[in-house]
Amino acid sequence: MSDPAPAASDTTPRFIRDLETMVRARYPLVYLVTHEEQRIDAVVAEVAERHGKQLWEWSITQGLRMAKTRAPSAEDTSNPVTALQSIASLKDANLVVLKDFHRYLDDASVVRALRELGHSLKVGLTTVLLVSPTLTIPPELEKDVSVIDVPLPTVGELLQLLKDIFGILKKSNRSEVHLTRDDAEALVKAAHGLTLSEAENAFAKAIALDNRLDVADVRVILEEKRQVVRKSGLLEYFPSDESLSAVGGLEQLKVWLDRRKNAFGAAARDFGLPEPKGLLLLGVQGCGKSLTAKAISAQWRLPLLRLDMGRIFSGLIGSSEENVRKAIKSAEGLAPVVLWVDEIEKGLAGSGGGANDTGVAARVFGTLLTWLQEKTAPVFVVATANRIDALPPELLRKGRFDEIFFIDLPTANERADIFRIHLAKRRRAPESFDVAKLAAAAEGFSGAEIEQAIVSALYDAFADGAQLSQAGIEKSLAETVPLSRTMVEEIARLRDWAKLRTRKASA
Ligand SMILES: Nc1ncnc2c1ncn2[C@@H]1O[C@H](COP(=O)(O)OP(=O)(O)O)[C@@H](O)[C@H]1O
Ligand SMILES: [Mg+2]
């Protein structure tokens, strides 16, 4: 063998370093969760080289083969059990990749054979890598298998891809490349969150459109990314142009946000600040929780991704636990972003229309909570909740969110603010109304109900061929029974609960 390759350097992605540690520590079975088989093939080949291991591959179509020579093993190993037995008898140091092996893990004899293999490899120098797009580990194997969630490619890996594409284009002479260093960085940033092959496709498409690659192609790449996120069905890009000035009241919350508007980015890291984790907004329905989530993204100029808890648990698209892992991974790939988990309680048992199986709900929340606690990627989570009864106490524990704010019904001053905002939004001059009087008449109204009252007065005025008037809005207020009147007890309970556990959003 030639000189040993240099060891993994500091710029090596963390999952590769983890993998190398496991290989060095002689872990027998490692499960790599990823869609990117080609990328992993290249990574594993390098790791094998660096550690002086013979590389083998198994798939249902090819059986067990030595990667270098493509020579099949002596016996027929297309059967998973035979393949595992044959791996057990490999000599010396090996790295064996099993492709799509999750397919065979519902077979008792395969599971048993894998377990036995795991035990027998403990004394050898062979590591078996299961590479699959989804994680399915039968309970018997849980203790024997170590899992690596392969993250999406880093900016550095994408930059390398772009450089490779340059090289090819230069040689072919058919397309033009007009990129400064900054342009290249902008393109790579736009592609962040895609897998390597998705990024390659996106770049190829950008080139094919006009035979050139330049900074204008950022738009093409972003559109591709939007498509990819949409396909996953769990996260949704939420374009938002609401600024915080569209939110009435909530002064304390606004001050808190304002103090952190520059907290993402290199300068803040250099200063020694941690990445902001996120906020939990609890409170009365219709008082601006969702609106605030949207405004934060616009104000901080970060894309807004909405995570639909209902869909996570719907059972329509794979298992709930798998779904939440996938969603977290995509969000991290798209960082820096605001991840909006609207009505987080929706997935919880007893909240109606959530998971019926409390075990599943607990595991999904466990995954989410662990991530909230440990995440290092700049994903700012804004979770909202209308109800507290079902919220697990762990969610409120320190370290999950930076702060928990309680959003109560608006005070008189806040209601006046909300009237002004919504009048102006409908191109009416707030000064021509007695806003203080309207605010007094709207005692107990939520922001949403105030907006509704204005809209319904607008309808009346329009139908009558009249202009929107003070009296018109007052009439519409008088005809509304606000939710707070029918929910007196619930709201009192919510306030009571919030007093000890949350910070007030209003001044
Ligand atoms: N504080 C507020 N300031 C301005 N508009 C508000 C406020 N609260 C609610 N609204 C209006 O009501 C709508 C619904 O409020 P939303 O944020 O969805 O309430 P929730 O707290 O239930 O998430 C908002 O889109 C906005 O138009
Ligand atoms: Mg809401």
Q: Please answer whether residues 93 and 54 qualify as being in contact, where contact means their C-beta atoms are separated by less than 8 angstroms.
A: yes
pLDDT surpasses 70 at 1: no
User: What is the arithmetic mean of pLDDT over 18-47?
Assistant: 93
Q: Is the pLDDT of residue 8 over 80?
A: no
Q: pLDDT, tens digit, for every residue of 249-280?
A: 999 999 999 998 888 777 888 888 888 899 99
| Ligand nearest, relative to CA of residue 420 | 1
DSSP 318: S
Distance CA 340, CA 26 (A): 41
Task: Give nearest CA residue, ligand 1 atom 11.
Answer: 448
Residue of the CA atom closest to atom 26 of ligand 1: 448
Is any atom of ligand 1 closer than 6 Å to the C-beta of 448? yes
Distance 247 CA to ligand 1 centre (A): 8
Confidence label for 316 from pLDDT (cuts 50, 70 and 90): low
CATH architecture, domain 155-232: Orthogonal Bundle (1.10)
**Amino acid found at 233:** G
CA of 411 to the centre of ligand 2 (A): 19
Residue nearest to atom 25 of ligand 1 (CA): 291
- The finding on whether 355 has its CB within 6 A of some atom of ligand 1 is no
Q: Cβ(454)–Cβ(446) under 8 Å?
A: no
350 — pLDDT class (breaks 50, 70, 90): very low
With cut-offs at 50, 70 and 90, classify the pLDDT of residue 57: very high
- Does the Cβ of 385 fall within 6 Å of ligand 1? no
Closest-approaching ligand to the CA atom of 448: 1
505 lines ligand 1 (CB under 6 A): no
- Measured from the Cβ of residue 472, the count of other Cβ atoms closer than 10 Å reads 20
Could you tell me which CATH number the domain at 412-486 has?
Answer: 1.10.8.60
343 CA closest ligand 1 atom index: 23
Q: Which ligand 1 atom is the nearest neighbour of the CA of 292?
A: 17
Q: How far is the CA of 115 from the centre of ligand 2 (A)?
A: 48
Q: Is the pLDDT of residue 50 over 90?
A: yes
List the residue whose alpha carbon is closest to atom 19 of ligand 1: 286
* Residue pLDDT, tens place only, 156-177: 889 999 999 888 888 877 777 7
User: At which residue do the structure tokens 């909530």 appear?
Assistant: 250
Q: Is the pLDDT of residue 351 over 50?
A: no
> Ligand 2: distance of its center to the CA of 368 in Å?
20
Is residue 336 reached through a cis peptide bond, with omega within 30 degrees of 0 on the bond before it?
yes
C-alpha distance from residue 156 to each of 180, 204, 407 (Å): 17, 19, 42
Query: What are the tens digits of pLDDT across the range 426-468?
Result: 999 999 999 999 999 999 999 999 999 999 999 999 999 999 9
List the residue whose alpha carbon is closest to atom 10 of ligand 1: 447
In the chain, which segments carry CATH 1.10.8.60?
Answer: 155-232, 412-486
Ligand in closest contact with the CA of 294: 1
Ligand number nearest to the C-alpha of 407: 1
Please give the CATH architecture assigned to the domain spanning 14-149.
3-Layer(aba) Sandwich (3.40)
Return the DSSP state at 233.
S
CA distance 198 to 36: 10
Report the CATH superfamily, name and number, of domain 244-407. P-loop containing nucleotide triphosphate hydrolases (3.40.50.300)
Q: Are 382 and 281 in contact (CB under 8 A)?
A: yes
- 420 in contact with ligand 1, CB cutoff 6 A: no
pLDDT band at 71 (very low <50, low <70, confident <90, very high): confident
- CATH 3.40.50.300 domain extents, the chain: 14-149, 244-407
Atom of ligand 1 nearest to the CA of 410: 1
Atom of ligand 1 nearest to the CA of 250: 1
Instruction: Read off the pLDDT of each residue in 115-129 and give the average, rounded to a whole number.
Output: 93
The reported pLDDT for the residue numbered 3 is 40
Query: Mean pLDDT throughout 52-78?
Result: 88
Nearest atom in ligand 1 to the alpha carbon of residue 285 is: 22
Ligand whose nearest atom lies closest to the CA of 450: 1
